[in-house]
Structure 1
Amino acid sequence: MLTFRHTIASESVTVNVPEDAADLKLFWEWLYRARERGPIALDTETTGLNIYSAGYRLRTVQFGDAHEAWVLLYERGGWHAQYAREAIQRCREVLIHNAAFDWLVLDEHAGIRLEDLAPWTTDTRILAALIDPRQPSEGGVGTALKPLSAKWIDPAAPDTQGGLTKVFNSLGFTKETGWAGIPLTHPTFLLYAGLDVILTARLAPMLRRELERLGVRDQLVTYEHEIARMCAVMQRAGLLVDQEYAAALAGRLAEEAERHGAVAARYGVASVGSPGQVAEALLGMGERLTERTKGGALATDKAVLLPLADLDRDWQRIGARTANPLADAVLRGKRASKWGVTYAERFMTKLSTAGRLHAAISPLAARTGRMSVTDGLHQLPSSDHVIRRAILAEPGHVMVSTDFQAVEMRVLAALANVRRMKDGFVNGGSDFDIHMFTAKLIKGRNATPRHRKIFKGAGFGKVYGGGITTIARQTGAEESEIAQAVAAYDRAFPEIKRASSRWQRQAFQNRMVFISATGRRLPLDRDRSYSVVNYACQSAARDLLGQAMLNVESAGLLEFCRLPIHDELLASVPQRDADEIAREFQRCMSMDLYGVPITADAEIGGRSWGSLYGADY
C-alpha cells in the first residue's frame, strides 16, 4: 500500500493507493463503512480531455470522504479495474465535481452507463454555480475546485492542476501531454488525485448549507442535474462529420483568406489580424474611428468594421452607406481564416474513431445559466450554411431543428407584464410579427420594413442591454433616429421601464442579486444594474429551453437530440418518421409563460445541418 498524508484545514488526511489484493480488500472494507456515513466522493484521472479520441486511457479512479481517499490504479487492469467498477456500482450516493466529464469517461472506458450513475450523483460544480454563477473575471469565485476549496474549506487548499503542471514540466511534458505521460505511481500525481475527492467531500455539505441559507429551492438543484445529464447524453451521441466535405472546405477557406488578404494588402495592410495596420489604413481612407480597446488603441473589431462594410450582424447589406472595401476584406479574410481553423480543421482533428465530433455542452456556461457548446458551434452565424453543411444526420435520418419563435420578446412581455405586447402575442395569430406590430403601433398603418428594423433594434436593445450607439451601428440608422425610436418604444410599452426599475430596486435590497422567475440567483454589477432586464429575460429563456428538454425526454425523443443551440434543439430523426417526430418536438417546445404563449416551429431539413440554412444536401 502506498500511503500519503497531507493537511487540510489543520486536519491530517490520508491518501491510500492499493497495490495488491490484500490492499484492495482493505479498500473494500473502507467503502462499506464510508457509504453508511454518507455520500462518497468520486473522481477520475485520464490522459486528457478528448474522451473519444484514439488511445485515450482511464488511468485512476478515486473514492473518498472528508478524511480519507483511495486511488485505484485502473490502468493496471485486472483486480484494480474490477474493484473500481464494482465499487462505483455499490455506492448509494456519489459526489463529483464537474460530473458530466466523469460520467462520460466512465461510460466510455469503464462500462458504467451514465444513465445508471447520474441519478445518484450530486455535482458540487452545479451547487457552486447556483450560489454564485460569476467567473473570476466577473468578480466571482468561479466554479473550479481549487478556488472553491480555498473559499469554503482552506485558503491553503492545494492547486492540484497547477502543481501537476509543474511536475509535468519537470519531466519534460507539457500541460497537455503530462496527463498521459506521467508515471502512474508518481507520488504527486497520486496525492493530488486523492486530495481532489477529499476536497469534494468537504465542499458538498458547505455548499448545501449555503444554498439552504440563501433560500435556493431543492427543485432548482434537481432540475440542473437533470439538464446536465441530458446534455451529457447528447455529447455522448456526438455529431457525425462529413470528412470529405470538411477537408475540401478547409482548403477553400484557406484560399478565400489569402484572396481577401491580397485585397487588404493593396490598402497597406500586410496582416488582417493587425489592429494597428487596419486602423492606420482606415484613417488614411478618411474613415472616422472613435472606439478604443481597454489598452487605449483604436478598436477595429467586428463590431466596428461591420458598419463600415455596410453589413449587419448577419452579414447582410444594410444600405446605409457605400461599403468600405478594406473593412469588407478584413472582415471576410479574418472570418475565412477563423472558420478554416476553428471549424473545418478542428472537425478533422478532433474526430473520434467513429468519425464523430463530441462537442462538450456546458449547461451553466453564462451568469444567466445560458448553455454553450465547445468547438465553436455556439458562435456560428445565424444564417450560415457553409460550416453547418459538414454536420450530418445519421444514415437514413434527416435533420430537424425546433426553434422558439421570438422567445426573447415573448419572455419580456411575460415577465414585465407588457399589456400591448401580451395582447399581440395572444391574439395576433400564428403569423404575428412583434416587430412590425410595434412599428405600426408607433408609426401607424404605413410603417415600412425599415421602421420594423429600427424598432426591432430598439426591442432587442431592451432585452440585451444595447445602447443607442450599438443599436445605430446594427441597424445603420443615425443615433438621433434611434434615440427617438427608443423613446417612442418606452411610451408604447411603459411597463418595461417600470419593471426594470422595480427589478433593480429588488436587487439593491438583496445585495445586488436579482432572483429570476425560476429562483436562480443573478448577481448584478453595481455600475451596470440596468442589465437586470437582460439577465431576467435571458435566464427565463434558458429555463424554457430546459423545460422543453425535459418534455422532449418525457416524450421519448432524447435519443434523437444532438445539440441545444441558443433557443433551438437540433435532432437527427429517421426520415420515414420525420413529420410525426417534428410535430412532437414542436409540441414539447410549446408552453405558456404568465399568460404569454411560447411557441416553436420545427423545420425538417435534409441530411446535413446546413440543409436547414440553404445547403443543397
Structure 2
Amino acid sequence: MSQSTPVTKASHVVLVDGSGYIFRAFHALPPLTRKRDGLPIGAVAGFCNMLFKMLKDQKDDSRPTHFAVIFDKGSITFRNDIYDLYKANRSETPEDLIPQFPLTRDATRAFGAPAIELEGFEADDLIATYARQAEALGARVTILSSDKDLMQLVSDRVSMLDPMKNRHIGPKEVEEKFGVSPDKVIDVQSLAGDSVDNVPGVPGIGVKTAALLLGEYGDLETLLDRAGEIKQKGRREKLLQHADMARVSKELVTLKTDVAVDVALEDLGVTDPDVEVLFDFLEEMGFRTLTARVRQALGDGQSDGIRADDTAVDTQGAFVSPATRGTYPNTVFDPTRYECVQTEDRLIHWIRRGFEVGVVAVDLETDGLDSRAANLVGVCLAVDDNEACYVPLAHKGEGDLLGEGVPDQIPMARALELLEPLLHDPAVLKIGQNFKYDLGVFLRHDLYPAPYDDTMLISYALDNGINSHGMDALSETHFGHSPVPFKEIAGTGKNQKTFDMIGLEDATRYASEDADVTLRLWKFLKPKLAAGHVTRVYESIDRDMPHVVAKMENEGIKVDRAELSRLSALFSQKMAGLEAEAHELAEGPFNLGSPKQIGEILFDKMGLPGGKKTKTGAWQTGVEILEDLADNGEALPRTILNWRQFSKLKSTYTDALQAQINPGTNRVHTSFSLAATTTGRLSSSDPNLQNIPIRTEEGRKIRDAFIAEPGHLLVAADYSQIELRLLAHMADLPTMKQAFADGVDIHALTASEMFGVKLDAMTPDIRRQAKAINFGIIYGISAFGLANNTGVDRSTAAEFIKTYFEKFPGIRAYMEATKAEAKELGYVSNLFGRKCHIPGIRERNPQRRAFAERQAINAPIQGTAADIMRRAMTRMPDAIHGVEGARMLLQVHDELVFEVPEGREDALIAVVKQAMEHAHEPAIHLSVPIDVEAQAAKNWNDAH
C-alpha cells in the first residue's frame, strides 16, 4: 500500500501509463490461459512482468519516492461530449482482453502500488494532473509510456521513459519527433490530427507542415487568424475552411491538468508490497516463474526488496547496492523483423551495419554439440533489439539428403571471406553466449574473432551461485521471455533433425532470436559489472578464457587405443574373478549389476544388519551402505564394491574412450565448462577427464593410455598443495606459512604439532591422519566424515578436530568470520573478488545450513586457487610461444598438461612454472610461496 509522504524538490514521482502497458503486453505476447479454468491471462502475465521489472530495476536517483499506475476507467469521457466521433474508428476490444482488465488492477495493488482511474477521464488526464502538481512543487517526474499524447507534458522537470525500448524522452527527443518544443506539441497535434483517436485536425496538414507553419506564425490561434496571408494556396484554403475543426481538435488533444483526483499526490508515497498478498495473487494466477523471481528479489519478505531507500535484496536475500539492478531491458521480441540472408548484397548490408554500430552479437548454428566435430551450418548476427539475421551456409533442404530442393545460400567460403574483416576488426566488439563453442568452430575455419564479450561469463561473474547462466535461463530470468525451444523446430528423439535439415523460415526465427537475446543480455548485464564490483573478475580472469580453452579443446590429447583394449581385457578378468568370489560368498549366483538382487542377498538371505529401504520397498545398496558393512568385516559387500570399481573403469573409460577418439584427429577432445561450478573451477565432460580415479593403482593405469605423439613428450605441471597454502595465508597461520617458506612437509608438520611427534620420528600412518585432517578442514569436515577418512572412531576424530583448532586457532577464526560474512551478505568472496553466493546459508534446516556453511568456508580458498589457475591459463599462450611445437592440452583440477617435442621439455617446464607460480601477481600478493611440480614423460601417468 502507498503512504502519505510530502512532495518536495527532492521527490521523484513515477507515473505509469497502465493502459498502455496492458495493450502492449497483450499484443506482444502469445495467447496464454490459466490451466485450471482456461481464463485468458496473457496480458496480465506481461503486465506483471513489466511492472515487476520496472519496480525492481529502479536504482539510485531513478528510484521513486512516489509511484502510481494510472488506468482508463472506460471508453467514454468528456471528449465524446466535445466531438461524438472521438475514437469512433477504434476496433472492438478483443474478447480475450476484457476479463483481464480488472486483473491488472489487482496485480498493481498486489505489488503495493495504487491503481488509479476516474470515470469520465482518460488515464492521460490523470497523469497530466499529477505531473503538473508535482512539477509545481519542484519535484522530478518520470512518466513510463511511449504515448505521443503525453509528450506535451515534457519539460525540464518532467520526462518520459519508454520501458519497452529503454528510451529516455526529454525536450530534445520531443523536438526530434514533432519539430517543435514540448509546449507547441498541442498545436501540432491540433493541425495534424490523429487517425488512431479520430482527431480530425486539418486535412492535408501533417506533422512536418504543422511544425513549419508554427515556426513561422508562433502558435495555433495566430496561425488561424493570419491564415489568409499564407502564400501556398492549398494550405491557405485548408486552414481557412477547417479552422473551427482545428480548434475542436485542440480541445480534444489538450490534456486536463486540473482533474479533481480521488487520491492526493502525497498519498502516492512508495512502500513495500505485502508479500502475502503479492504471492497469493501470483500463485492464484499460476505465474510460477514470476513467483519464483519475485520471491528471490524479496527474500522472505522481511527486508527491503522494492522500495525507495538505500538497499535491496538480491536473489538469495543478500544485501546489494541498488546500482546492481541494471537498466530497463526491452522485453518485446518481434521475429517478423528477422531476416534470412541469402545474397551477398544483403550480407554486405548487415556487415556494414555491424561496422556502423560497433557492437554485434555473433552466434553459430552447427549440426552437432561437439565444436571439434560439428559442421558449420549458418551464422547469426544481431546489431540491435529485433534487428537480427540468419545467414544459412549449409542447409540441405528439409529431409532431402540428395541435395534436391536445397535453398539458395551464399557459398560458405565466400560468406566467411566477407565476414572476416568484421570478425577481426579491433574496433568492433563481438558478443557471444558461451562463445567458447563458437570460437572452437571459428578456429577450424582459420577465423579468430576479437575482441569479444561473453554474456555467459558476465552473468557468471555477477550471479555465481544464483542463476543458471545458459541463454534460455538468462532470457527468462531477466526478460521474462522464453526463446524458441530447439525441439519445437527440430523434433525430439529418433526423429529429431539436425540443424542443416531445418527449413529456412524456422531456422531464421530460431537462430536470429539467439543472437537478438544475446545482444540484449550484453546491454543489460555488462553495466552491472562495475556496480557489482566484479569488473576485475570478468576482465582480468574470465574474459580471455573462451579463446584459450577453445584452442585447448581443439588440440585434444592422443590416446593409445591398444592400451585401452589391454586394460579393458584386464578389468574384465578382474570382474570375472570378483564375480566368482561373490557367488561363492553368497552361496549362489546373482547379478552383481542388479541393486535389487544385491539387496535381497545381503538383507533377506544373509540377514545382515543396517539395511534400509527406499519408498518403493527396495533395499538400498549404495556405496555408503556397502562401505559400512565392509568396515564391519563383511566380505561380500567389499567384493561387490571392488567389482563396481572395475566395472566403472571399464565402461566409463577403457571402453568409452575408444568410442570418443575423433577419427579426423585420432585424439580425444574433452569439453570444458567455464561457468558450471560455484568456485570458478572448470569442469570436464564428453569425456570427463577430471573424474579418472587416481587414488588406486587401477585408476592410475587409465592415465597410462594418454600418450604423446611420436617424438614428443607430455608435461604435467601441478600446483603443490595450493589450497593449504592459501589457507595458511587467508587464516594467517604463522607456523604453516613458515613451513611452506622452508619447504617443510606440511602434513608431517601438522602431525608433529597435533600429536607431539618429532619430524624425524614421523610414521606414515600418523602423517596420513594429519593429511586427512588438513584437507578435511578445508572442506569443513565433520567428526563423522573424518572418522570415515582416517579409520578412527567418531570420538577420536572429534578430539583430532578439537586439537587441530587449538594448535591452529587462526583457522577457527577464519571459519567463523567467513560464515558470518556469508550470513550477512549471502555470499563470500575470494581474494580476487569473485563472489560465490551461498543459497542455503540462512536455512532453518540444520543439515542444509551446515552444508552451506561448509561451502562458505571452502569457496574462498578453492575459488582463489581456481582463479589463479584461470589466470595462469590465459597467460600460457604468450608464455609458451617461444617454445616451438609446445601446446596446452588439458586442465584437470590443479594441473595443466602440455605436449612438447622431445628435447624442448626443459625449456617448456621453465616457462610454465614461471607463469603458474606468479599467475596471481600483481592482482594479489601472498605471504606464502606458490610451488609447481612439473615433469615430462611419454604418458600422463609417468609425468607425475
Paired AA for residue 679 in structure 2: T
SS at match of 2:543: helix
Q: Specify whether residues 306 and 587 from structure 1 end up closer, same or farther in structure 2 by C-alpha distance, changes over 3 A only.
A: farther
The Cα shift of 1:6 comes to 8.6
SS at match of 1:483: helix
- Write the distance in 1 (CA, Å) between the matches of 2:531 and 2:617: 44
- Write the distance in 1 (CA, Å) between the matches of 2:878 and 2:627: 44
Pick aligned residue for 1:102 from 431, 438, 444: 438
Q: Specify whether residues 11 and 226 from structure 1 end up closer, same or farther in structure 2 by C-alpha distance, changes over 3 A only.
A: closer
The Cα shift of 1:286 comes to 6.8
Paired AA for residue 28 in structure 1: I
SS at match of 2:913: helix
The Cα shift of 1:220 comes to 3.1
The C-alpha deviation readout for 1:481-515, integer Å capped at 9, x for no partner, is 110000000001111111111122222222x1112
Paired AA for residue 57 in structure 1: N
**What is the 5 A alignment of 1:415-434?**
415-427=730-742, 429=743, 432-434=744-746
- Write the distance in 2 (CA, Å) between the matches of 1:359 and 1:232: 10
Aligned residue for 1:243?
Answer: 561
Answering whether residue 322 of structure 2 is matched by residue 12 of structure 1, we say no
Contiguous gaps of at least 5 residues in structure 2: 1-26, 30-329, 396-408, 842-848
- Give every structure 1 segment of 4 or more consecutive aligned residues whose post-TM-superposition deviation is greater than 6 Å: 5-8, 290-298
Pick aligned residue for 2:551 from 233, 240, 244: 233
Pick aligned residue for 2:873 from 538, 545, 549: 549
Task: Please say if residues 307 and 476 of structure 1, whose CA atoms lie closer than 8 Å, have aligned partners that are also in contact.
Answer: no
- Write the distance in 2 (CA, Å) between the matches of 1:334 and 1:577: 42
Answering whether residue 911 of structure 2 is matched by residue 584 of structure 1, we say yes
Task: Please say if residues 489 and 502 of structure 2, whose CA atoms lie closer than 8 Å, have aligned partners that are also in contact.
Answer: no
Paired AA for residue 74 in structure 1: L
Answering whether residue 793 of structure 2 is matched by residue 471 of structure 1, we say no
Answering whether residue 486 of structure 2 is matched by residue 150 of structure 1, we say no
Aligned residue for 2:571?
Answer: 253
- Write the distance in 2 (CA, Å) between the matches of 1:304 and 1:587: 46
The Cα shift of 1:541 comes to 1.1
- Write the distance in 1 (CA, Å) between the matches of 2:435 and 2:821: 34
- Write the distance in 2 (CA, Å) between the matches of 1:480 and 1:269: 40
| TM-score for the superposition, normalised by structure 1 | 0.85
Aligned residue for 1:317?
Answer: none
SS at match of 1:581: helix
Aligned residue for 1:263?
Answer: 581
- Write the distance in 1 (CA, Å) between the matches of 2:332 and 2:473: 18
| Higher mean displacement: 561-570 or 251-260 | 251-260
The Cα shift of 1:290 comes to 7.4
Paired AA for residue 376 in structure 1: N
Aligned residue for 2:836?
Answer: 522
SS at match of 2:394: helix
Pick aligned residue for 2:462 from 121, 124, 131: 131
The Cα shift of 1:356 comes to 0.8
Q: Specify whether residues 549 and 30 from structure 1 end up closer, same or farther in structure 2 by C-alpha distance, changes over 3 A only.
A: closer
| TM-score for the superposition, normalised by structure 2 | 0.57
Answering whether residue 652 of structure 2 is matched by residue 342 of structure 1, we say yes
SS at match of 1:597: coil
Q: Specify whether residues 45 and 102 from structure 1 end up closer, same or farther in structure 2 by C-alpha distance, changes over 3 A only.
A: same
The Cα shift of 1:301 comes to 3.4
Paired AA for residue 380 in structure 1: I
**What is the 5 A alignment of 1:348-359?**
348-352=658-662, 353-359=664-670
Pick aligned residue for 1:435 from 731, 747, 766: 747
Q: Specify whether residues 262 and 69 from structure 1 end up closer, same or farther in structure 2 by C-alpha distance, changes over 3 A only.
A: farther
Answering whether residue 355 of structure 2 is matched by residue 35 of structure 1, we say yes
Aligned residue for 1:73?
Answer: 392
Paired AA for residue 301 in structure 1: G
The Cα shift of 1:229 comes to 2.1
Q: Specify whether residues 34 and 586 from structure 1 end up closer, same or farther in structure 2 by C-alpha distance, changes over 3 A only.
A: closer
How many residues in Structure 1 have an aligned counterpart in Structure 2? 570
- Write the distance in 2 (CA, Å) between the matches of 1:298 and 1:496: 41
Task: Please say if residues 541 and 867 of structure 2, whose CA atoms lie closer than 8 Å, have aligned partners that are also in contact.
Answer: no
Pick aligned residue for 1:498 from 796, 805, 813: 813
Answering whether residue 622 of structure 2 is matched by residue 301 of structure 1, we say yes
SS at match of 1:44: strand
Q: Specify whether residues 326 and 189 from structure 1 end up closer, same or farther in structure 2 by C-alpha distance, changes over 3 A only.
A: farther
Q: Specify whether residues 554 and 392 from structure 1 end up closer, same or farther in structure 2 by C-alpha distance, changes over 3 A only.
A: same
The C-alpha deviation readout for 1:274-313, integer Å capped at 9, x for no partner, is 4444345444657554788899976543455456556xxx
| Higher mean displacement: 331-340 or 121-130 | 331-340
Paired AA for residue 644 in structure 2: K
Task: Please say if residues 750 and 770 of structure 2, whose CA atoms lie closer than 8 Å, have aligned partners that are also in contact.
Answer: yes
| Higher mean displacement: 487-496 or 78-87 | 78-87
| Higher mean displacement: 415-424 or 75-84 | 75-84
Pick aligned residue for 1:58 from 364, 376, 385: 376
SS at match of 2:732: coil
Paired AA for residue 350 in structure 1: Q
The structure whose RCO (Cα within 8 Å, separation 6+) is larger is 1
- Write the distance in 2 (CA, Å) between the matches of 1:529 and 1:294: 30
The Cα shift of 1:561 comes to 1.7
| Higher mean displacement: 366-375 or 590-599 | 590-599
Q: Specify whether residues 85 and 377 from structure 1 end up closer, same or farther in structure 2 by C-alpha distance, changes over 3 A only.
A: same
| Higher mean displacement: 563-572 or 79-88 | 79-88
Pick aligned residue for 1:49 from 369, 375, 391: 369
SS at match of 1:589: helix
Task: Please say if residues 462 and 528 of structure 2, whose CA atoms lie closer than 8 Å, have aligned partners that are also in contact.
Answer: yes
Max Rg structure: 2
Q: Specify whether residues 302 and 577 from structure 1 end up closer, same or farther in structure 2 by C-alpha distance, changes over 3 A only.
A: farther
| Higher mean displacement: 257-266 or 349-358 | 257-266
| Higher mean displacement: 281-290 or 530-539 | 281-290
Pick aligned residue for 1:193 from 477, 500, 511: 511
Task: Please say if residues 64 and 197 of structure 1, whose CA atoms lie closer than 8 Å, have aligned partners that are also in contact.
Answer: yes
- Write the distance in 2 (CA, Å) between the matches of 1:31 and 1:294: 60
Paired AA for residue 368 in structure 1: T
Contiguous gaps of at least 5 residues in structure 1: 135-139, 311-320
RMSD of Structure 2 on Structure 1 (CA): 2.8
SS at match of 2:524: helix
Task: Please say if residues 443 and 551 of structure 2, whose CA atoms lie closer than 8 Å, have aligned partners that are also in contact.
Answer: no
Q: Specify whether residues 61 and 273 from structure 1 end up closer, same or farther in structure 2 by C-alpha distance, changes over 3 A only.
A: same
- Write the distance in 2 (CA, Å) between the matches of 1:42 and 1:69: 10
Aligned residue for 1:537?
Answer: 861
* Identity over aligned pairs, percent: 25
Q: Specify whether residues 34 and 223 from structure 1 end up closer, same or farther in structure 2 by C-alpha distance, changes over 3 A only.
A: same
- Write the distance in 1 (CA, Å) between the matches of 2:737 and 2:767: 18
**What is the 5 A alignment of 1:362-511?**
362-374=673-685, 375-383=687-695, 384-427=699-742, 429=743, 432-444=744-756, 445=758, 448-510=763-825
The Cα shift of 1:262 comes to 3.7
Aligned residue for 1:360?
Answer: 671
Task: Please say if residues 583 and 602 of structure 1, whose CA atoms lie closer than 8 Å, have aligned partners that are also in contact.
Answer: no
- Write the distance in 1 (CA, Å) between the matches of 2:646 and 2:576: 9
Paired AA for residue 144 in structure 1: G
- Write the distance in 1 (CA, Å) between the matches of 2:613 and 2:800: 27
Aligned residue for 1:161?
Answer: 486
SS at match of 2:461: helix
- Write the distance in 2 (CA, Å) between the matches of 1:254 and 1:202: 54
- Write the distance in 2 (CA, Å) between the matches of 1:111 and 1:550: 20
Q: Specify whether residues 293 and 465 from structure 1 end up closer, same or farther in structure 2 by C-alpha distance, changes over 3 A only.
A: farther
- Write the distance in 1 (CA, Å) between the matches of 2:333 and 2:437: 30
- Write the distance in 1 (CA, Å) between the matches of 2:382 and 2:394: 19
Task: Please say if residues 455 and 485 of structure 1, whose CA atoms lie closer than 8 Å, have aligned partners that are also in contact.
Answer: no
Aligned residue for 1:513?
Answer: 827
Paired AA for residue 542 in structure 1: A
- Write the distance in 2 (CA, Å) between the matches of 1:407 and 1:292: 42
Task: Please say if residues 537 and 833 of structure 2, whose CA atoms lie closer than 8 Å, have aligned partners that are also in contact.
Answer: no
Paired AA for residue 913 in structure 2: Q
